[in-house]
Amino acid sequence: MNSFGSIFRVTIWGESHGECVGVSIDGVPAGIALSVEDFAEDLARRASGRRGTTPRREPDQPQIVSGVYEGRTTGAPLTVLFENTNTRSGDYSNLVRQPRPSHADRVAQCKFAGANDPRGGGHFSGRLTLGLVAAGVVAKRVLGGDVAFATRIAEIGGCTDESHFDEVIDAAMRDCDSVGGVVECRVEGAGVGLGEPFFDSIESKIAHLLFSVPAVKGVEFGAGFEVARRRGSENNDLIINAEGATATNNDGGVNGGITNGNPIVVRAAVKPTPSISRPQMTYDFERGEVAELQIKGRHDACIALRAAVVVEAAVAIALADLWLCNRSRH
């Protein structure tokens, strides 16, 4: 469904080429200072325009249409709209005829019996993450200034040296291709005790949100998949002081699904944008055979770049929900 969260509940809607996309956030505590300007920084991080991102530029101007009064949250649902201004009419019948490989075109059509909005991916478009980013901004306000987020691109196309990322992307672009990456988000100051057994572990909630983000195919915490190659004696995080600080952080700040006070470390694997301008041989449902597909337009060569702030927003939303939930218990 299009809502997530128990107390801090985020509801999103919209299609890529519809009137607008939006988000309504329920459960925001009253009295938090907030204005449209507060969304600017994170929206800019999500925006295209940098190397490796699509040239489609939209102002992405947020409109707060409910839940803020005289510069403060009211306690009622906080709703933010983004108009879709850069939508060009076009012929989308080709998506039905020859669905783009590794895109949602075909499953959307099957699931909704052909009634889905196919334009620009419709409701499956990455444009829907605008609402997530907006909700992430509010979530970070709810958590307060003591909780610090640091998000970075940890890997692009197999390269983990940030100084060579541009080269990797440029090479992919020269080949009319795209390239995948890994986003890492690190959170300090969230404290001990966030997460609810059994099913609402902090890892569960964060992963749930992250796997809603288009293109994410893997999520790991702390040492992540590396734990499968380790002994317990290597992997255990030994506690070193009365605050519970650990000598290592292989658990990524989480034990038994509950934050342990050490930094929360989460990584998301983002696949290469499936929309590439290189010709691809994929099934043509009209012709009834495999045929060449050439995707028009210009696309993100490395969507991981723009996904970073979305990953951060997802983490923030999950934390805010569990933080409010935990507060109800004391």
Which residues between 303 and 322 bind a second copy (CB under 8 A)? 304
Closest CA to 14 of 110, 79, 90, 93: 79
Q: Nearer Cβ to a second copy, position 123 or 140? A: 123
Give the total residue count for the chain. 330
DSSP state of 192: B
Q: Nearer Cβ to a second copy, position 41 or 226? A: 226
Which residues between 90 and 119 bind a second copy (CB under 8 A)? 99, 101-104, 106-108, 110-117, 119
Closest CA to 177 of 297, 299, 51: 299
Member of 88, 91, 242, 296 binding a second copy (CB under 8 A)? 242
Reduced to 3 states (helix: H, G, I; strand: E, B; else coil), residue 60 is: coil
Query: How far from chain centre, in Å, is Cα 1?
Result: 16
Q: How far is the CB of 50 from a second copy (least distance, A)?
A: 18
b (16+ CB within 10 A) / e for 250-286: bbbbbbebbbbbbbbbbbbbbbbbbbbbeebeebbee
Q: Near a second copy by CB under 8 A, which window of 39-47, 50-58, 143-151, 199-207? A: 199-207
Member of 134, 135, 207, 316 binding a second copy (CB under 8 A)? 207
Q: Tell me: does residue 161 bind a second copy (CB under 8 A).
A: no
Q: Tell me: does residue 145 bind a second copy (CB under 8 A).
A: no
Q: Nearer Cβ to a second copy, position 152 or 327? A: 327
Member of 196, 305, 307, 312 binding a second copy (CB under 8 A)? 196
Q: How far is the CB of 56 from a second copy (least distance, A)?
A: 18
The token pair at 218 is 């893997």
Which residues between 247 and 276 bind a second copy (CB under 8 A)? 250-252, 255-260, 269-276
Q: Nearer Cβ to a second copy, position 98 or 149? A: 98
Q: Tell me: does residue 20 bind a second copy (CB under 8 A).
A: yes
Q: Near a second copy by CB under 8 A, which window of 44-52, 54-62, 67-75, 133-141? A: 67-75
Q: Tell me: does residue 57 bind a second copy (CB under 8 A).
A: no
**H/E element, 142:** helix 129-143
Using CB under 8 A as the binding criterion, the count of chain residues that bind a second copy stands at 152
Reduced to 3 states (helix: H, G, I; strand: E, B; else coil), residue 310 is: helix
Q: How far is the CB of 201 from a second copy (least distance, A)?
A: 5
The token pair at 86 is 């850069």
Q: Tell me: does residue 52 bind a second copy (CB under 8 A).
A: no
Q: Nearer Cβ to a second copy, position 229 or 296? A: 229
CA distance 61 to 186: 28
Q: Decide if 318 contacts 206 (C-beta within 8 A).
A: yes
Q: Tell me: does residue 328 bind a second copy (CB under 8 A).
A: yes
Closest CA to 252 of 260, 244, 264, 243: 264
CA distance 64 to 83: 12
Rounded alpha-carbon distances, angstroms, from residue 129 to 2, 10, 255, 285, 312 = 12, 12, 29, 30, 12
